[in-house]
Amino acid sequence: GHGGNAPREPPPRRRGQPGPSRAALRGCGLSAQGSWRKAVRSDCCEAGRDCLSTLTTSTEDGAFQTKGHNTRILSPEEAERLANDRVLVSDFKQLKLEKEAQKNWDLFYKRNSTNFFKDRHWTTREFQELKACREFADQKLTILEAGCGVGNCLFPLLEEDLNIFAYACDFSPRAVEYVKKNSLYSTERCKVFQCDLTKDDLLENIPADSVDVVTLIFVLSAIHPDKMHLVLKNIYKVLKPGKCVLFRDYGLYDHAMLRFKSGSKLGENFYVRQDGTRSYFFTTEFLSQLFRAEGYEEVVNEYVHRETVNRKEDLRVPRVFLQSKFQKPFSKT
Ligand SMILES: C[S@@+](CC[C@H](N)C(=O)[O-])C[C@H]1O[C@@H](n2cnc3c(N)ncnc32)[C@H](O)[C@@H]1O
């Protein structure tokens, strides 16, 4: 789960203990891409929601980030534990989770208010395309933050770039209210609305072919894999031809995936947290297929391997994310 009631087994490896992380990643041919930089807490992306409150990454501690196409290599124990976790949550309970998905996210925001996800100031840095997207210097960009939560990506973006108009939507009415109440919210610069991306037509709020960049940040993982294509279809309609979806989400074998207790598995790479919210862990192949089937073209699609360090507990935590970019073609041929 997120927050304090999260499954904590097995404990992450202690620093200094043998493990697959750094050496194995080197061994599998990943190259560090100049990312041995000091990072601030807000840089730890999803780490904060996975119970490690003092996470930070730094060069001295051997924290690092690599990008590439290889999946994380598990230790034999980790591989065995995953392979042995075969029993799936009952169909009855799965249906209930699907029916109550919105309620569960809304309750999540009721409990956590706006404090849970760290402001995602890394968005502009990691997704430099947001700025590169401009054809001329002061061009106004229209973005859609799909599944915006309480606006942790949205507001840093609006702050950093004055020449953006942002649409933002979320499943949870409570999250949408928080966005509207934020002091940085202004109807001149953004339009936020409640919607289920798998059901509600975005065209009701956004003109067709009008958006320069769609960001989809840790949202698709919360949606049942059978319905993910509906989200991509929906987004496609509002995206300008030639423009992109910027995607970041959990990758296969991320630390969070290995921590689920047995009894949490819903399907392949798909798990339920204790609070009823669900999480899918993506492979590059799965994501690529999903986007291509809806007519997008792949521009970038790679794993980000990052080892975060919890100084207080002296733990190394191997995180795996998928960072990708898919384009709506200029014209269908
Ligand atoms: C992990 S949060 C990420 C929020 C935000 N993008 C961020 O990075 O801080 C996942 C979000 O997806 C939203 N969500 C889940 N299913 C959805 C759906 N079917 N339609 C729209 N939003 C959905 C949830 O309400 C939640 O706010």
Q: Do the domain assignments include residue 225?
A: yes
- As given in the structure block, the two tokens for residue 90 are 């009952």
Give the pLDDT score at 116: 61
Distance CA 271, CA 288 (A): 21
Cα(331) to centroid(ligand 1), Å: 30
Cα(171) to centroid(ligand 1), Å: 6
Give the pLDDT score at 332: 59
Distance CA 319, CA 72 (A): 9
Distance CA 184, CA 215 (A): 19
Give the pLDDT score at 126: 57
CA 117 to chain centre: 11
Q: Do the domain assignments include residue 16?
A: no
Are the C-beta atoms of residues 176 and 193 closer than 8 Å to each other?
A: yes
Q: Do the domain assignments include residue 94?
A: yes
What pLDDT digit, counting tens, does each position of 140-199 carry? 999 999 999 999 888 888 888 778 999 999 999 999 999 999 998 999 999 999 999 999
Q: Do the domain assignments include residue 6?
A: no
- DSSP designation for 153: T
Q: Do the domain assignments include residue 10?
A: no
Q: For residue 139, is pLDDT > 80?
A: yes
Instruction: Report the number of distinct structural domains present in the chain.
Output: 1
Q: Do the domain assignments include residue 175?
A: yes
Give the pLDDT score at 122: 56
Give the pLDDT score at 117: 62
Give the pLDDT score at 112: 85
Distance CA 217, CA 153 (A): 8
Q: Do the domain assignments include residue 100?
A: yes
Residue of 234, 251, 212, 247 lying closest to 325 (CA atoms): 247
Residue of 23, 246, 268 lying closest to 124 (CA atoms): 246
Q: In what order do the strands lie in the sheet with 278-280?
A: 265-267, 270-272, 278-280
Distance CA 65, CA 31 (A): 9
Instruction: Tell me which of 235 and 312 has the higher pLDDT.
Output: 235
Range of the domain at 101: 22-327
Residue nearest to atom 21 of ligand 1 (CA): 171
Residue of 228, 260, 231, 307 lying closest to 84 (CA atoms): 260
H/E stretch holding 191 reads strand 190-194
What pLDDT digit, counting tens, does each position of 266-303 carry? 999 999 999 999 999 999 999 999 999 999 999 999 99
Give the pLDDT score at 12: 45
For ligand 1, residues with CB inside 6 Å are 101, 105, 117, 120, 147-149, 152-153, 170-172, 175, 196-198, 217-219, 222-223
Percent with pLDDT over 70 in the chain: 75
Q: Do the domain assignments include residue 332?
A: no
Give the pLDDT score at 65: 82
Give the pLDDT score at 312: 77
Which domain CATH number covers 122?
A: 3.40.50.150
pTM, full prediction: 0.81
Give the pLDDT score at 227: 98
The closest-lying atom of ligand 1 relative to the alpha carbon of residue 227 is 19
What pLDDT digit, counting tens, does each position of 44-91 carry? 334 334 333 323 344 334 457 889 999 999 999 999 999 999 999 999
Give the pLDDT score at 113: 76
Cα(221) to centroid(ligand 1), Å: 9
